[in-house]
Amino acid sequence: MEKQKPHSRKKKSLGIGGLAVIGGGSVAVVALIAALTYLQIGRQYKEVFFPNTIINGMDASKKSIDEVKTMVAAGIDGYQLTIKERGDNTEIIKGTDIGMEAVFDGSVEKLLQQQKPLEWAKHIRKFQNFDIGTLVKYNQDQFDAAVTKLSCFQEDKIKEPQDAAISQYESGKGYHIVSADEGNRPDPEKVKSLISAAVMDLKTEVSLDEGDAYKKPQITADDPDLVSQVQTLNRYTNVKVTYQFGDKKEVLNGDTISKWVGVGEDGKAFLSSSEVTAYVKGLASKYDTVSKAKTLNTSYGKTVKITGGSYGWKIDQKAEADELAGIIRSGESQERVPVYKQEAASFGENDYGNTYVEVNLTAQHLYFYKDGKLVLDTDFVSGNESKGWSTPAGVYSLTYKQKDATLKGEDYRTPVAYWMPFNGNIGFHDATWRKQFGGSIFKTSGSHGCVNLPPAMAKTLFENIPSKVPVLCYNLPGTESKTTSNGTTKTETTATTPATTPSTTSAPATAAATTAAPTTAAPTTEAPATSAVTTPSTQETPVMNNPQQEAGPGVSKSTKKKTGPGVK
């Protein structure tokens, strides 16, 4: 019998295939273990919330429903809310002040039920936030009372918001916008809403400013209408108008214009027309000379003050006010001469310059000065004093000149060669029907108001005098004349010599008139010597005694007062 060989105890190699079988089994085991572990971990999220879960601002990660409720309840115990107000003021409302308590209405449970436990790994790094239904509640009456007691609602501590506005005018700078003042008046409804939301979220701090809980100004500094208003007002007040009145100036600038402007109910800037009109009226009152007395250094060496008449500067107030308003609205500064209705020869108190006619109604003698030089002087006959037709004193302007005019009245039509009106229908003209002039003829046999001149003198005056020349008519006691003339020689008359005044000749040895006009020199030429000749042997014959001459405008057949020449 053969002896069996013993079995070797040496292990055999498994080879590559064998290792693969064993390795595969290990991975499967590991995977299985991992899966079981994942499932096991996921199973807990049936009872607790995923990692990184925030519920109404609280960290609910891996907390159960009861733990979340406990956390909510713990947050309410000792809860207080700090309220930050304007002016660095803070106030506190406690949970106990408003009857605050937790409320569990199933919202937490519902949120947990919606979790999918097997998705827990997604939330390891991913946060999820939930805002669910109210978890706390408070007593509304206690809440309202607590909010109302806040010091920010005390009237003595409240400053009302102020709209942005236009500043007062500042000389040399104009207007600017004053920024709005926000004040600190809280809006009760917004404050309550803001605090309620903070309480419900269990916040510990809330800012009324950040929560926009204050009442706001309605108009801010960048308001388009406000910006436009300031721009317009500054355009008006930046204007400077310099008025020229000879060597005098009136400067109108923003210091005055600022009192005339404003903003109307329609929100638009305006310029007061009535204020502009009043200003122009003031200029007229100051610089118009048409109604002001004129001082004349007469050819008799005496000074007279002449009132009345229509001569002088006169501003067209309506036209100038319209012009000035337009200038101010345009914003364009300028130097300006006002619009005049009537102009004079020069500026100043005595505005008649050095070309004028001086008419002494007392002496019945006139002088015509042109550029300060005496051109002519002559006797004349003025309005009939006895019939109330006296030629009025005053300063007038020669209206125009006309050759071969016909003067008309109630009972006459008289042709004249030279007609030069200066006061309505009163004027200078030749009087061919008269043989004598000057003296006291005017007292009983004068004209209807005109100044009757010797024909040669009327011609000389007509040829040398331009229109608009001032005519200064005045009375000067003490210059009454005893003589008459025919235009070249004098005749002594005694019937009308004043008993109380000395006789004077009509041609003085003194210098010609000196005026106060600032731009003219006083006349210096003496009256011609020919007018001073007297012939006492000739007696004046009144015009009334000559029927051939009764048709003249200086003669009347009736004692009834008539109108002056030139009147139909």
Mean pLDDT value of segment 224-228:
97
Q: Which is more confidently placed, 474 or 24?
A: 474
Q: What is the pLDDT of residue 539?
A: 26
* Beta-ladder partners of 357: 368, 471
pLDDT per residue over 391-445, tens digit each?
Answer: 999 999 999 999 999 998 877 889 999 999 999 999 999 999 999 999 999 999 9
What integer pLDDT is reported at residue 15 of this predicted model? 54
Long-range Cβ contacts of 62-65 (<8 Å, 24+ apart): 65/108, 65/109, 65/112
* pLDDT at position 286: 95
Q: Quote the pLDDT of residue 68.
A: 86
- Sheet containing strand 365-370, edge to edge, reads 373-379, 365-370, 356-360, 470-474, 394-397
What's residue 187's pLDDT? 96
Is pLDDT larger for residue 562 or for residue 362?
362
pLDDT bin (cut points 50, 70, 90) of residue 108 is confident
At 537, which helix (H) or strand (E)? none
Q: How far is CA 282 from CA 250, 307, 493, in A?
A: 11, 21, 52
Helix (H) or strand (E) holding 66: helix 65-76
Pairing mode, strands 373-379 and 365-370: antiparallel
Reply yes or no on whether the pLDDT at 270 is more than 80.
yes
Secondary structure (H, E, C), 389-429: CCCCCEEEECCCCEEEEEEECCCCEEEEEEEEEEECCEEEE
Report the number of secondary-structure helices (H) and strands (E) in the chain: 11, 33
Residue 511 confidence (pLDDT) above 80: no
**Percent of the chain whose pLDDT exceeds 70:** 81
Q: Domains in the chain, ordered, with CATH?
A: 45-192 (no CATH), 228-292+308-342 (3.10.20.800), 356-474 (2.40.440.10)
Sign of the C-alpha dihedral computed for residues 215, 218, 224 and 227 taken in this order: negative
User: Bigger pLDDT: 5 or 372?
Assistant: 372
Q: Can you give the pLDDT at residue 464?
A: 97
More confident call, 496 vs 158:
158
Strands (E), 21-105: 53-55, 58-59, 80-85, 89-94, 101-102
What band does 272 get if pLDDT is binned at 50, 70 and 90? Answer: very high
**Average pLDDT of span 79-103:** 94
pLDDT for the residue numbered 568? 27
Which residues have a Cβ under 8 Å from the Cβ of 48 and sit 6 or more positions away?
62, 63, 64, 67, 112
Res 19 pLDDT > 90: no
- In tens, the pLDDT along 170-222 reads 999 999 999 999 999 999 999 999 999 999 888 999 999 999 999 999 999 99
pLDDT confidence tier of residue 258, bands split at 50, 70 and 90: very high
Note the pLDDT of residue 515. Answer: 33
Q: Name the average pLDDT for the chain.
A: 83
Q: Tell me, what's the pLDDT at 2? A: 46
**pLDDT at 74 > cutoff 90:** no
pLDDT of residue 535: 29
Distance CA 230, CA 257 (A): 14
The model's pTM is 0.66
Q: With 50 as the cut, is the pLDDT of residue 557 above it?
A: no
* Mean pLDDT, rounded, for 470-489: 91
Percent of the chain with pLDDT over 90: 62
**Structure tokens belonging to residue 442:** 């005017």
| DSSP category for residue 34 | H
294 burial via Cβ count (<10 Å: 0-12, 13-18, 19+): buried
Determine which helix (DSSP H) or strand (DSSP E) holds 262, and give its type and residue range: strand 261-263
Please, which residues have CB within 8 angstroms of residue 259's CB and are 6 or more apart in sequence?
A: 275
Output 533 or 390, whichever has higher pLDDT.
390
| pLDDT at residue 46, rounded to an integer | 82
- For residues 511 and 73, which has the higher predicted lDDT (pLDDT)? 73
Of 61 and 384, more confident = 384
Q: Identify whether the C-beta of residue 446 lies closer than 8 Å to the C-beta of residue 389.
A: yes
Q: How far apart are CA 450 and CA 390, in angstroms?
A: 9
Poorest-confidence range of 359-363, 368-372, 437-441, 514-518? 514-518
DSSP class of residue 264? -
The two three-digit tokens of residue 276, written as one number: 């502009």
More confident: 541 or 58: 58
> What pLDDT is attached to residue 490?
57
- pLDDT of 24 reads 61
| Amino acid symbol at 456 | A
Cβ atoms < 10 Å from Cβ of 247? 9
Which parts of 240-382 fold into alpha helices (H)? Answer: 254-257, 273-287, 317-330
Rounded to an integer, the average pLDDT of 155-167 is 96
Determine which helix (DSSP H) or strand (DSSP E) holds 243, and give its type and residue range: strand 241-245
CB-neighbour burial class of residue 35 (10 A; exposed 0-12, middle 13-18, buried 19+) = exposed
DSSP symbol at 486: S
* Contacting residues for 312 by C-beta, under 8 A, at least 6 apart: 288, 289, 290, 291, 292, 294, 342, 344, 351, 395
Whether pLDDT at 461 is above 80: yes
Q: Which residues are catalytic?
A: 429, 450
Alpha-carbon span 381 to 552, nearest angstrom = 12
**For residues 74 and 189, what is the distance between their CA atoms, to the nearest angstrom?**
29
Can you tell me the mean pLDDT for 273-277?
Answer: 98
Contacts of 472 (CB under 8 A, 6+ apart): 294, 296, 306, 352, 356, 357, 358, 359, 395
